[in-house]
Structure 1
Amino acid sequence: MIKINLNKILLLIFYSLVNTLLTLGIIYILNIAITDENFKSKNYLIITFFSFIVYSYLLNLFFQKKIIDYTYNFVYDNELFLAKKLQNSSLKQLETLGTERIYGIIEEMRVFIFLPGIMTNTLNSLLMILLCIGYLFILSYKSTLVIVVLIAMIAYVYLLVGKKLSKKLSILRSQNDFFNKYIHDIIQGFKELKISETRKNNLYNNVSANRTGAKDLDKFLANNFNAINILSQYGLYVVFGVILFLLPAFGIIQAKEMVSFVTVLLFMSGPLNKLITMQNMYTRTRIAIKRVKSFFKEINTNEIEEQKEQSQVIDFENLQFKECRFEHNSSFGLGPINLSINKGETIFIIGGNGSGKSTFINMLTGLYTPSSGEILLNNIQVQSNTPNYQNLLSVIFTDNYIFSQNYDNYSLKNNKEYISLLELMELDKVLTDDEESSARRKFSKGQSKRMSMIFAMLEKSPILILDEWAADQDPYFRKYFYEKLIPMFKQQGKTIIAVTHDDAYFQHADRILKFEYGKIIKDISIEKNEFSQAILWNN
């Protein structure tokens, strides 16, 4: 993550040094050509001059190819690192970060595509300037000291302005993060916005204020960076004026030395201007590195190490939660949870909004790791966020998501089980082929849940977890789910844990768990005739 290989740095320095020496050789020969009347008789210098040009060109061509390879490997490897980090972070971390900030960080990472090029140009320019100054010291150390002081004063102004601009740039990045949030609201809340003129206008007013502020700040930054660039040009004119008019007047430089000084300074002006014009990129890259490092620090987790264990097939017999707690935030906590789930059981989970049902499902599935307590699988303590545990689960969340591609180990093509499941879920009239693209098109919410059920069945996991799966089904299919599908899955040996509010079908469960204020306040066995509506809903 944002690490530069030391060998690459050494190669970069070596290239820059050789290229700078070649360029300095070109400057030296040019200076001789201008000041030495016998230059034309020195044929070896003419051959050397053109040889240096060819060597420098070929070296640049070769090294720029290396830079391009390294740059793109650097950026895309960091993007892979980000994807891996996100996969191995916890649900709570992702909820805290928010998708908008993640997209903002991806945008920041694209800035790194310029980083090796910036380093190359900076190193080349600095070496060229240092070698040119060294050459000028040989010609006249007094004149060179004056020039160095003038350049240092101009550079100080650049650094001072650049430091102030970096703070403004950080504010601009934050405003862009807010803009991403507004766009997310527009896309995700599109229907709600379309039917409410007030809501739509208020959101647009927020977006307008955000973009107006960002535009003004961006223009401010652009104008200031542009002012720095213009100042660099006129600052060099001042230096030339000092050499041509002031230094000779004080007898510090001779007329013969003036030509050499101006020639060298003309070559120095390129690297100097390059350093100055890159101030914008320096500032943006520095801010991007700071933000990306901060982001990765926030999602740093030891789950990556835990996920490396080799996945094993484990027969599920019993799952126990002992004194398990999870602190969701300062105002709500889950637990203590003491619960035993046996193979083949059908358990319904009920409770009001905010009672802890979804938090428990997230802990059950390993998305939330208990802050205390232990989980026993077949009487052996396990971590719930490891493959050995999670491979036992097929889960359909209330906000189920159908991926655009098949990332599982089964194929739908020529899959007879898939075709029979389409018939079972009464989707065979909706999907008339076994193409992956057909199974991943846009569905209604109820049909989407049925497709997720088909995928869950193809996973062949022993535990099926459903978070309000039937809530989006029509009355006919809801009845079909409870009276046909659940008994069928139970007969197949599935352990079913379902969050539901459909009290008309509670008799199809073996047990009912009622949550309230983050705790299980009732664990009712249907087989023992403990079930009744009065017992269930009364505290």
Structure 2
Amino acid sequence: MNLLILLLRRSRGAVALAVFFGLLTGAASAGLIAHINAVLTSGGTLADRATVLGFAALGALMLGSRIGSQLLLTRLQTRTTFALRDQLSQRILATPLRQLEELGNHRLLATLIDDVQAVTQGLLCIPPLLIHGGIIVGCMTYLAIMSPMVFAALLVFAMLGVASYLLPMRHIMGLLRHSRQTNDRFFRDLRSLTQGLKELKLHGGRRTAFLKQELFPTAEALKQLQVKVSTLHTFTTSWSMSLFFFFIGLLLFALPGLTPVSTSTLVGYTLAVLYLQQPLESSMTMLPMLGAGTVALRHIDTLELAAAGSPLPLSSGEPPAPPSRIDLAGVTHAYRREGEDTPFTLGPIDLTLRPGEILFVVGGNGSGKTTLAKLITGLYTPESGEIRVDGRSVTEGDRERYRQLFATVFSDFHLFDSLLGLAEGDKADKARAYLTRLQLDRKVRINDTGALSTTDLSAGQRKRLALLTAYLEDRPVYLFDEWAADQDPLFKEVFYRELLPDLKAAGKAVVVISHDNRYFDVADRRVRLESGAIVAEESAAAPTLSARPRSAL
């Protein structure tokens, strides 16, 4: 029902019209059976011109209404599927980063790949199911009119068949839900396989343990669940369909001995029951797919992503005006780290960013530096305290616009295959000039649309390419998270002694997370974090508050 509601939300009119066409298909099918029955029981004497024309008209009506219903619902299903993908992508982007990190990439990938595919398959089942429903209603109506007494016997068998099908289906739905949960673990193991290739190849014991304790058991559990669903559904469907042949046997051999039944009724019922077998069998075959789609849709809802009615607003790409200062006042953020019983708390943090100033954030691993960076950039929401821009507090409604102040290169950055809107017009020439300065011009080319010839580079070169993207964004605040960690000594010198001072001279506020203590003199200020708290702050020189803007490179 969840999938049908999804279609109804998309277009009630199209669904209602498709249902009408489905019922029309059923009525035409019943009329065809009535014509066939009449001709058979008359010995062919009714095969006159009027009967032939009536048969042809009903056949054309059935074909047209069936095609109309199928086309309407198929087009609606296609639009709904793509709208679901688009909406889900926007909901993920609109969901707070911390919540997405807690869900895990493997669950998000399973949702985007498997859940959406299951929903799509479920939606594909709805058009034929509605058509089959119309045929069943039409034929049953014809049978009820032909002989109410025989129809009552048919209803008894039908209810027995439905009960014998629905009871196992409840168990099948439970298996489908369990299978969906197991699928999340399987995606987690596949991610470990692809991301841990080097480690698994270098250590035979770890590789064997991973395969035997993680990947293979999860895959086996998933396989067993799918086999159980398939086996149980096969037995259930076969038993339910055999009841129709039992009914035909009783109709032909037992019922005439109990009560007078006309030949016309026997032939009509036999034809109708045999005709109903195909849509009923097809419907029962599709119900598990419909159930899997319903489970997938419910699983999407359990992720508790941002509401579908409030997708992430699309930014024009133009950042707000450069602020004169950004203040973090008593900001805190708490979360539970993997493997730890107690939550880690960052803060309270009091910190100020100013244009034309380089701020270094230093501290040991696990001190909260990257968490602080995500708070500064608005990717995390403070649990207490506030962030102010020129004295004005950043509210939830302002947070999207606030994030546009920052150009960043995080330690776990993603490098796109294109500059994505950052190379229009003269920016393409500027990007090529940056490539030369970053010593990438012999490795990478940029075409007029901003597509990169390759991103298959060393870790240090990929970070330089990410730095190029940050330069092209030309934002008021730049944040680098351990950017120089993968650079050779020569380019570390270029980064700290040339590139950072250039950004400072251009009037940018620069935040650098670094362990390179030999370059600490580059900073105007340094703050040291330990266990989520600022334990020291040092000023190397008075900041330049009114630096005259110029090109960063």
| TM-score, normalisation: structure 2 | 0.89
The Cα of 1:255 is off from its aligned counterpart by: 4.5
Matched residue, 2:222: 214
The Cα of 1:43 is off from its aligned counterpart by: 2.0
Q: Show the 5 A alignment for 1:48-447.
A: 48-106=54-112, 107-205=114-212, 206-251=214-259, 253-295=261-303, 297-300=304-307, 304=311, 313-329=320-336, 330-383=342-395, 386-411=399-424, 415-431=428-444, 436-438=450-452, 440-447=454-461
Equivalent of 2:530 in 516, 522, 526: 516
What are the ranges of 5 or more consecutive residues in structure 1 without an aligned counterpart? Answer: 530-539
Taking structure 1 as reference, are residues 411 and 333 closer, same or farther at Cα in structure 2, changes over 3 Å only?
A: same
- Work out whether residues 2 and 78 of structure 1, in 8 Å CA contact, stay in contact via their aligned partners in 2: no
- What secondary structure does 2:46 align onto? helix
The one-character-per-residue Cα deviations of 1:433-474 (angstroms, maximum 9, x if unpaired) are 657444542111111111111221111112110101111111
Distance in 1, matches of 2:512 and 2:302, equals: 39
- What secondary structure does 1:278 align onto? helix
Taking structure 1 as reference, are residues 439 and 512 closer, same or farther at Cα in structure 2, changes over 3 Å only?
A: farther
The one-character-per-residue Cα deviations of 1:295-322 (angstroms, maximum 9, x if unpaired) are 3x34448974777899663122111111
- Work out whether residues 66 and 131 of structure 2, in 8 Å CA contact, stay in contact via their aligned partners in 1: no
The one-character-per-residue Cα deviations of 1:112-136 (angstroms, maximum 9, x if unpaired) are 3344543333333333333333332
Structure 1 stretch displaced more, 225-234 or 57-66: 57-66
Distance in 2, matches of 1:403 and 1:135, equals: 62
The Cα of 1:260 is off from its aligned counterpart by: 2.3
Equivalent of 1:468 in 482, 490, 510: 482
Distance in 2, matches of 1:431 and 1:259, equals: 77
Matched residue, 1:535: none
Taking structure 1 as reference, are residues 8 and 359 closer, same or farther at Cα in structure 2, changes over 3 Å only?
A: same
* Counterpart code for 1:110: Q
Matched residue, 1:24: 30
The Cα of 1:528 is off from its aligned counterpart by: 7.2
Structure 1 stretch displaced more, 469-478 or 303-312: 303-312
* Counterpart code for 2:241: Q
- Work out whether residues 93 and 299 of structure 1, in 8 Å CA contact, stay in contact via their aligned partners in 2: no
* Counterpart code for 1:170: R
The Cα of 1:96 is off from its aligned counterpart by: 1.5
* Counterpart code for 2:487: Q
The one-character-per-residue Cα deviations of 1:218-277 (angstroms, maximum 9, x if unpaired) are 122111111123223321111111111221222263445322221222222233223322
Structure 1 stretch displaced more, 335-344 or 433-442: 433-442
The one-character-per-residue Cα deviations of 1:57-108 (angstroms, maximum 9, x if unpaired) are 2333344333332221111111011111111111112112222212222222
Distance in 1, matches of 2:428 and 2:513, equals: 30
* Counterpart code for 2:330: E
* Counterpart code for 1:449: K
Matched residue, 1:534: none
- Work out whether residues 17 and 69 of structure 2, in 8 Å CA contact, stay in contact via their aligned partners in 1: no
Taking structure 1 as reference, are residues 413 and 184 closer, same or farther at Cα in structure 2, changes over 3 Å only?
A: farther
- What secondary structure does 1:415 align onto? helix
The Cα of 1:328 is off from its aligned counterpart by: 2.0
Distance in 2, matches of 1:115 and 1:283, equals: 7
Distance in 1, matches of 2:53 and 2:392, equals: 81
* Counterpart code for 1:2: L
Distance in 2, matches of 1:433 and 1:235, equals: 68
Matched residue, 1:525: 539
The one-character-per-residue Cα deviations of 1:493-529 (angstroms, maximum 9, x if unpaired) are 2211100111111111110001112111111111279
RMSD of aligned C-alpha atoms?
Answer: 2.5
Taking structure 1 as reference, are residues 46 and 474 closer, same or farther at Cα in structure 2, changes over 3 Å only?
A: same
Taking structure 1 as reference, are residues 494 and 171 closer, same or farther at Cα in structure 2, changes over 3 Å only?
A: same
Structure 1 stretch displaced more, 300-309 or 406-415: 300-309
- What secondary structure does 1:461 align onto? coil
Equivalent pairs, count: 528
Taking structure 1 as reference, are residues 157 and 151 closer, same or farther at Cα in structure 2, changes over 3 Å only?
A: same
* Counterpart code for 2:510: I
Distance in 2, matches of 1:418 and 1:122, equals: 55
Distance in 2, matches of 1:51 and 1:497, equals: 78
Distance in 2, matches of 1:226 and 1:151, equals: 18
